[in-house]
C-alpha cells in the first residue's frame, strides 16, 4: 500500500504517520510523497527529514477546492509517485468527483470530532462550544458528501473538569496521532 499525504498546514499528523513508518509500525504501508496546496506549509519540511519527496502543487484559482486543471495535476503527481492511496492530513480543500474517481475508496480523511457530529471547520471548537462531554476524532473514507463518507475508526476523548479549549485541542490532536497511523497500518494488512 503506497500512499501520498496531502496537507495544508502544520503536518503534525503527517509527522505521526512518518514516525510510525520509521518505527516499523505502519504495516505494509509506505508513504511515497507529500503534497501541499500551500507553498510554505510546514508539512513540506518533513520531506527532507524523512526522505520522502515533498512539494507544493498549485491548487489553481479557487479557495476551497482545486480547479479542474490543478485537480488533474494532483492526480498525475500522486500516480507518478507510485501511490494508489491518498491520506488527507489537514488538507483544507474539498475533494471533487474527478479526484474521487481516480482513487475509488482509497482516499482517507481525518476529522477532529466523532462524526457525524461537528462536521466542517473547527470540529474541536464546535464540540467545545456545544458543551459535549465526549468528543474525539474519526478516520473515514472520502466521498462527495463532506465529512460524510463511511467511518473506518474513531477514538473518543473525554472532556474533563478543568479542561480548556486549548487542553481539549491538545487531547484531540494526541488521539489523532495515535488513530491515523493505526488505521493505515490495519488497512495495509487487510
Ligand atoms: C487535524 O486536526 C485534522 O483532524 C484536520 O486538520 C488537522 C490537521 O492538523 N483535518 P495537522 O496539520 O496534521 O497538524
Pocket of ligand 1 (CB under 6 A): 7, 9-14, 89-90, 110-112, 176
Question: 2-188 falls under which CATH superfamily?
Answer: Formyl transferase, N-terminal domain (3.40.50.170)
**Average per-residue pLDDT for the chain:** 97
* pLDDT of the residue at 49: 96
**Count of residues in the chain:** 190
The confidence band for 19, taking pLDDT boundaries of 50, 70 and 90, is: very high
Instruction: Render pLDDT for 72-82 as a digit per residue (tens, 0 to 9).
Output: 999 999 999 99
Residue of the nearest CA to atom 8 in ligand 1?
A: 90
Whether 42 contacts 9, CB under 8 Å = yes
Distance spanning both ends of the chain, measured CA to CA: 10
Catalytic residues: 111
The confidence band for 31, taking pLDDT boundaries of 50, 70 and 90, is: very high
Amino acid at each position: 500500500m503506497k500512499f501520498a499525504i496531502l496537507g495544508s498546514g502544520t503536518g503534525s499528523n503527517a509527522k505521526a504517520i512518518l514516525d510510525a513508518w520509521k518505527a516499523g509500525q505502519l504495516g505494509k504501508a509506505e508513504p511515497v510523497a507529500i503534497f501541499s496546496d500551500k507553498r510554505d506549509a510546514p508539512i513540506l519540511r518533513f520531506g527532507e527529514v524523512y526522505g520522502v519527496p515533498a512539494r507544493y502543487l498549485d491548487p489553481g484559482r479557487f479557495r476551497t477546492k482545486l480547479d479542474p486543471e490543478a485537480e488533474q495535476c494532483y492526480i498525475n503527481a500522486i500516480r507518478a509517485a507510485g501511490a494508489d492511496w491518498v491520506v488527507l492530513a489537514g488538507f483544507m480543500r474539498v475533494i471533487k468527483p474527478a479526484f474521487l474517481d481516480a482513487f475509488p475508496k482509497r482516499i482517507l480523511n481525518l476529522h477532529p470530532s466523532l462524526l457525524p457530529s461537528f462536521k466542517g471547520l473547527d470540529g474541536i471548537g464546535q464540540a467545545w462550544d456545544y458543551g459535549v462531554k465526549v468528543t474525539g476524532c474519526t478516520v473515514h473514507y472520502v466521498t462527495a458528501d463532506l465529512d460524510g463518507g463511511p467511518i473506518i475508526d474513531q477514538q473518543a476523548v473525554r472532556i474533563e473538569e478543568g479542561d480548556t479549549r486549548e487542553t481539549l485541542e491538545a487531547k484531540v490532536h494526541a488521539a489523532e496521532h495515535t488513530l491515523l497511523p493505526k488505521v493505515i497500518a490495519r488497512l495495509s494488512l487487510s
